[in-house]
Structure formats: C-alpha cells, structure tokens
Amino acid sequence: MSTPQVDPKILAKANEWLKPEYDKETRKEVKDLIKNNSKGVIDAFYKDLEFGTGGLRGIMGPGTNRINRYTIGSATQGLANYLLKEFKNLPEIRVAIAFDSRNNSMKFAEIAAHIFSANGIFVYLFEALRPTPQLSFAIRTFKCQSGIVITASHNPKEYNGYKVYWDDGAQIVPPHDNNIIQEVKKISSVSEVKFVGNKNLIKVIGSEIDEIYLNTLASLSLSPEINRKHKDLKIVYTPIHGAGVKLVPKALRKFGFERVHTVPKQNIVDGNFPTVKSPNPEDPAALKLALAKAKKIDADIVMATDPDGDRVGIGVKDLEGNFTLLNGNQAASLLIYYVLTKWKEKGKLKGSEYIVKTIVTSDLLADIAKAHGVECFEVLTGFKYIAEVIRELEGQKTFIAGGEESYGYLVGTFARDKDAILSCAMFSEISAWAKEQGKTLYQLLVEIYVRFGFYKEDLISITKKGKEGADAIKAMMVGFQNNPPKSLGGSRVMLVHDYSHQQTKNLIDGKISPIKLPKSNVIQLITEDGTRVSVRPSGTEPKIKFYFGVKGQLKKASDFDSINKQFDDKIEEIIKEMGL
C-alpha cells in the first residue's frame, strides 16, 4: 500500500502541536506521527472535531480531530466564553459536569471543571461516574445555565466525547450549537485556554442528588400495586462496565422489584470494556453474558445499558420460550402503548397530550398515539430534537413520552434526554403488567401488531473511517439524492424526502413540496406499498446507516411467524437491490 501524501495545510496544523504550549507527551506523539505515520497525521489533523447529533466525539489521541486535553480545553473555553456573553446579567453562572466509565473521562471532566472555574463559572462536579440523564436532571435541579458530560456513549473503547447541555437540561440545538462552535474557532492558540482553575468555585456532588433523582423516577410508576404483587419478577441487568452499575438496581428496587440479578464480570467499571468488543446494547454480542444468565435462572426480562446509561437493550422470551432481543422500535412501541393505556385508564388524557418520535423511528408509535387521541410529533434524529419540542410546547401541551429507534426513551419531563435508568424500571413494570394478564412482553408486542398493524424494521451500519471514509459516505449520499432507485421490494418508489434540501419530490407526478424540519443530511425513500428506507450518516461515528421498514396486516397472533418471515425476506431483497 502506498504512503499517502500529507497536504501542506494539514502538516502545518500538526506542526503547531510541536510548540511549547503543548505538553511534552503530546509533542512527542505528534512528532512520531509526522515522522512515521502520514495517514495518522491526516486522520488526526485534516479537520477539527465538530458537534454532531450527540456533541463532540472522536478517537482519543493527539490532534485537532481527536479527543484530548486540548480539544476538550478549547471546547470548554469556547463554551465558557459563550456563557459569559449569553448570561452576562446573571450574578452567578452555573454548570454541571458528569462523566462515564471511559478511559480518561474523569480526567477530562476535571480539566473542564478547572477551565470553567478559571473563568468565574460555578461548577457542580459529580464525585464519580454518573449516567447522562442524571446530568440533565442535575442541570434542572441546580438551575444551571449549561452542563457537559464526558462520554462517547456506546462507541468502542478508543473513543471519548463531550456532550453539551443548555439550561433546560437538553442537548444544545441551534443557534447555541453553532454559536459555541464559532466561539471555539475564535481560539487561535491553546494559550488562550485557562487551564488553572479556582477550587472555590467547584462543588463536588454525589449521593444527595442520587436520592432526589431516584425518588423522582419512582414517582413516574403507573402500576405500583402490580409491581408489589410481582416483586419477585426475575430481572437480569448488566451495565456493560458503565454508569448504570449502581443506579439501575436502586431504581428497580424503588419501583418495588426485589429479584435483580446482575452479571458480576460486567459490574466492574472499566473503560476497556474487557468482556465485549463494543459496549453497545444494540449489539447482541454485548448481551451474551446477560442472556446466558437469564436462560440459567429462567428470567422474565434481560436489560443492558450503555456506558453513559442513556440507552437500554432488552431481551425477552419469544413465542417459543427462547430468549430474543427486541429492537429499539419494538421496545419503544411497548413503552408508548403501556404508558398511553395507563394514562387512559387513569383518566389523564384530556386532549392536549403528545408523544415525540424521530423520522427514522417506526410509524407504529404514531398509530398507537392516534388510537388514544394523542398527538405525535416527528423530529430529526437525535434526542435533542425531542427535548426541543418539549421546551417549545411547555405550558401549552403535556408531554407523555418519547422514543427513538436507537434504544433511547424518556417518560415525563424531569430530564430532557433519553434515560436508560428510568427505562429499565419502566420496562420491568411493563413486564409485570403483562405477567398480571398472563402474558409475556413478546406476546404483548404481537397483540399490538394485531391491533395496530405489523411493522418490521431493520438497520445496517457501514463503517468508513478517516478522511477517505468521510469522502465515500458523502459520495453515497449524493448518489441517493441525484439517482434514487426506481423501485424497492417490488414496489415503485413514490416519494423521496431530501432533508438536506428540505423538500419532498413525488416521483410519480414530479411535484415538489417543502419539508418543515431543519436541514439534515438524510434521504428517505417511500414506496407505494408503504415500505420506507432511510439513509443517513451518523452524527457521532464514521458510519452511514440504512434504516429499512416494511408494514402490513397481522390478522391473528398465530400468523405471526409466517408474516414475520415474509417481511424478513422482503427486507433482505431490498438490501440486495441496493447493493449493501
């Protein structure tokens, strides 16, 4: 393989990191890259890390396109500068900081705390790892103007990241995200970053906020009496070496469940994630140990959370009694169905309630909401957009719940980000509710399909790393924009939703109509029979994702296996047609 030539501009950026402002270890690493690894230099310096749907995220190491003390420092100084402008009239500006189990997460959190305090900003810093939703909760509880969590969510171990939150406890959205980026870009030298902090402006927090948070979660239970009756529900839970390790079992006990079985090897907090290739609850391999334990003890439900405790994967028994994993759309459908059913039973539906889902999440959620007289809003991918709707409608309508296919869910408004701690408790409650009716969660899901329609979804992620990968992903998106397929799965493509140009083109009559959502690099193909394929690059990983959805009728539960296979075959046919 030939050695790639380094662009002089990229090399100049790398040479900047050899100056005395950078620590000795960093200078040595960069010098070695320049001397021995031209591709490494390109990947580390060809661009600056940008805020995506999840914030700042990248591989750890030296470079402008890497997570390190200097990119963390510049981001924090830029955020501090912006906060000082935005809230200049406040007597005190406050931020909260949390971090997960990843390597260097605590160190990066402490660096950020010192920088904020050096800028005169008061900091609430968690004493040890905590889940991301608790950071959102802390921002709201302590009336902070902003907050950050150091995490790369479910990415592999070499990654870390930096999520920024605003005063409502939600991730930043326009215009704040772009404004913060502009402030970061104004920093021309690391000498402008105030690394030496003021310890008098840093308050360490821990168990006191845990108790408030857990009690708030418990107040959201909709079937406490059923939970008590089924307190022996057999639950297997794993934090996959992450931040849910203490709070999920505590939350389950708060909800009334006493038989919580964990996976000891995965209770060990370790940023190397030694028992898995990737700590992603969407990956069946990450739940292998938990499923083995569930089979051994004949569990009712299996749950696994990612390192920062905002996503949850769920395993249940299928119609034959074998353990299977639910996808995010199935789990979200169960959650929305349960919560709306209970709200209706309790007479809480008054006509102003709503749920929120993302554009790549199953339309089954919208169908369930419609049947209950509840409005469903659809937003771009990223839970920050769900939170944005909650903020905009606060005081006008009542948010019940929201979900996205990527295993993130929220009930209530106590926090403004997906919450796997609460979700674990809620899914256990739904399991107890189903058991009270003599059903398993899977049987309940099949009943939902019979009542509302059978939706089948699948997802393919293609990883393309580095600059070459980014260029390839860009070319793929342009190809779908300019030359969409004419048919998929034997059905003619009728609509092309191009979110980057905010327009829908009808391929049948040629008409073009506007899309009212913000610009986003997403293409959706809709066929005449309702099949939907969505294509989007990940905002936080070097991946391009393809979401497949087909739908039809399931007249009776006994037809499930045959219809399920038909839909699997149809999705497989579409995947082959698209050359994936």
Domains of the chain, each with CATH number or no CATH? 68-171+179-205 (3.40.120.10), 213-452 (3.40.120.10), 454-577 (3.30.310)
Mean pLDDT lowest for which of 183-187, 269-273, 337-341? 183-187
Token digits of residue 206: 């821990």
Q: What is the pLDDT of residue 3?
A: 66
Query: How far apart are alpha carbons 146 and 131 in whole angstroms?
Result: 17
Q: What is the pLDDT of residue 578?
A: 92
Q: Tell me the percentage of the chain whose pLDDT exceeds 70.
A: 98
513 bridge partner residues: 504
Q: What is the pLDDT of residue 52?
A: 55
Query: How far apart are alpha carbons 229 and 498 in whole angstroms?
Result: 50
Q: How confident is the model at residue 1 (pLDDT cuts 50, 70, 90)?
A: very low
Task: Assign 3-state DSSP to the chain and report helix, strand, coil percentages, each to 5.
Answer: 40, 20, 35
Q: How far is CA 532 from CA 56, 451, 495, in A?
A: 30, 21, 10
pLDDT in tens, 105-135: 999 999 999 999 999 999 999 999 999 999 9
Active site residues: 153
Q: Is the predicted pLDDT of residue 50 greater than 80, yes or no? A: no
148 bridge partner residues: 97, 164
Contact present, 282 and 154 (Cβ < 8 Å): yes
Contact present, 317 and 323 (Cβ < 8 Å): yes
Mean pLDDT lowest for which of 8-12, 298-302, 329-333? 8-12
Q: What is the pLDDT of residue 48?
A: 84
Token digits of residue 16: 């900047």
pTM of the model: 0.94
Contact present, 281 and 408 (Cβ < 8 Å): no
Contact present, 11 and 27 (Cβ < 8 Å): no
